[in-house]
Structure 1
Amino acid sequence: MPMRLAFLSSDRPEAVAAQNSLAKRYGGVSPEDAEVIVALGGDGFMLEVLHLPLARRVPIYGMNRGSVGFLMNDFSETGLTDRIAAAEHAEIHPLTMTAVDSSGQSFTAMAVNEVSLLRQTRQTAKLRIVIDGTVRLEELSCDGALVATPAGSTAYNLSAHGPIVPLEARVLALTPISAFRPRRWRGALLPHAAQVCFQVLDPDKRPVSAVADNFEVRDVVKVSVAEDTAASMTMLFDAGRGLQERVLAEQFSV
């Protein structure tokens, strides 16, 4: 019986063309009826697909038809079902962000890569960092800070000079963004079950936004972040090029 594949693409012309060609070749089905969803685009589009409710039960196999493709496999129209059948599985647990804004309204969002806090104006942000109910840093003056999953540790976290975290390490990366005081604080590795809370100090003068992947809340006063161990998504990678290998190789790239 043929493998039931659903093809989803970003709006880039090359991604749309690939979707049409692959669906014609392999007989695409709806995402609801699929055994595997094939995502065509870049890493940003992969994150969009992982945020779909279907991603909780349908494995995602990405092929790069965008720019950055760390989470994607190389594009080829031939041998697709064989590649998927032999693919390595990577199980991803997302973060849950709960953000409270200055009006007292609460927002909840999921993050596959990271939750980041960012200053909204020219004023430096001032954050208090609380881990599992204990104040660990009374005041951090910075452009922002983020909490990254192992899968997301090679993304914004790495650009902010945070550590690359192996997938099986069961830790989260807490990384400052352009720390001013304490200038030499480089962040921390936290147990994956840690409950992280950011309190925004002086939010009227120093407004801060919170972003969970691509969902933003402006003018936050408190942001809580924790791994959602009850939720998981499965990503598929070509044999020998699994996510664990990619994360390891990234540490030796020059």
Structure 2
Amino acid sequence: MTSKPHYEKIAFVATTTTSARKALKGLTTRYGNAPIEQADVVVALGGDGLMLQTLHRLMGRKIPIYGMNRGSVGFLMNEFRENDLHERLARAHRSVVHPLTMCATDTSGQSSKSYAINEVSLLRANFQAAKLKISIDSHVRLETLICDGLIVATPAGSTAYNLSANGPILPLEAPLLALTPISAFRPRRWRGAILPQRARVLVEVLEPTKRPVNAVGDNVEVKDVRCVEIAMDSSQDLVMLHDPGHSLDERILREQFDW
């Protein structure tokens, strides 16, 4: 029988809000505050934005992150309590997610690569709708999509911007990606697609000067893109910890019945 991991050295990170700073002071007084480089676990005090920032910060290091909600949304976070932190960490369930890579080339020919944990979005940058061409694994699937934008979402991100754009909710363990248009005008009835997570999505911007488009991957924005290639990097394991009964799987399932 596999024993539960023992998280002895805890590092805390917090947003600058009054409630988060107060929580940080109380928790570090009680449990100490190890340097992140030496920590067994990182406890993030804030909202979902801080969780995403911390996942980006620790990418490649496989240090689990346990979030406690001191923000506004908190979908990825656990309930805040100062007591029994070691016991909560020992009982917590692990959720492993993988990020998307966003390789964007702008109209000047400059290329950049970044990671996105929730989604990559292409968004029109002026009053005219974007005109996009979509290829999956080098095969053109949609010659022309006229829309306000397009989202490629991971299962972890499927309940975020993707859901607001009427995209599908994906179970966390599903090896899938959601491809969701934002206000599609032509073809008007196209509602997007569900793709295998190994798929490589290439989005080319048609008429990029007349109809400029920006690409956003979490907190990274590339302006005036000409093309964007998006793929999941399954070699990157990002680990979040959640209390029993509040796992990310459970929260994604609950979203589908919470009306």
Question: Shared topology, TM-score over 0.5?
Answer: yes
Determine the structure 2 residue equivalent to 1:126. Answer: 131
Determine the structure 2 residue equivalent to 1:43. Answer: 48
The Cα of 1:2 is off from its aligned counterpart by 7.4
Q: Which of 78, 82, 107 is the matching residue for 2:83?
A: 78
The Cα of 1:45 is off from its aligned counterpart by 1.0
Determine the structure 1 residue equivalent to 2:73. Answer: 68
Unaligned runs of 5+ in 1: none
Q: Kindly tell me the number of residue pairs found equivalent between the two proteins.
A: 254
8 Å CA contact 1:56, 1:231 repeated in 2: no
Residue by residue over 1:215-249, the C-alpha shift from the partner in whole angstroms, topping out at 9 and shown as x without a partner, is 00000000000000111110000012111111101
Normalising by structure 1, we get a TM-score of: 0.98
Determine the structure 2 residue equivalent to 1:195. Answer: 200
Aligned mates of 2:179, 2:17 — CA distance in 1: 33
Aligned mates of 1:64, 1:74 — CA distance in 2: 6
Aligned mates of 1:17, 1:69 — CA distance in 2: 18
- Whether 1:228 aligns to 2:236 is no
Superposed CA RMSD: 1.1
Determine the structure 1 residue equivalent to 2:213. Answer: 208
Aligned mates of 1:39, 1:150 — CA distance in 2: 21
For residues 55 and 46 of structure 1, do their structure 2 counterparts lie closer, same or farther at Cα, with a shift above 3 Å needed? farther
8 Å CA contact 1:203, 1:220 repeated in 2: yes
- In the TM superposition, 1:1-254 aligns within 5 A as 3-53=8-58, 56-254=61-259
Q: Percent same amino acid at aligned positions?
A: 59
8 Å CA contact 2:7, 2:90 repeated in 1: no
The Cα of 1:56 is off from its aligned counterpart by 3.0
Determine the structure 1 residue equivalent to 2:3. Answer: none
For residues 135 and 35 of structure 1, do their structure 2 counterparts lie closer, same or farther at Cα, with a shift above 3 Å needed? same
Structure 1 moving runs of 4+ over 2 Å:
53-56
Greater shift in the superposed pair: 212-221 or 50-59 = 50-59
Unaligned runs of 5+ in 2: 1-5
Residue by residue over 1:130-159, the C-alpha shift from the partner in whole angstroms, topping out at 9 and shown as x without a partner, is 000011001000010010000000000000
Residue by residue over 1:166-204, the C-alpha shift from the partner in whole angstroms, topping out at 9 and shown as x without a partner, is 011100000001111111111000000000000000000
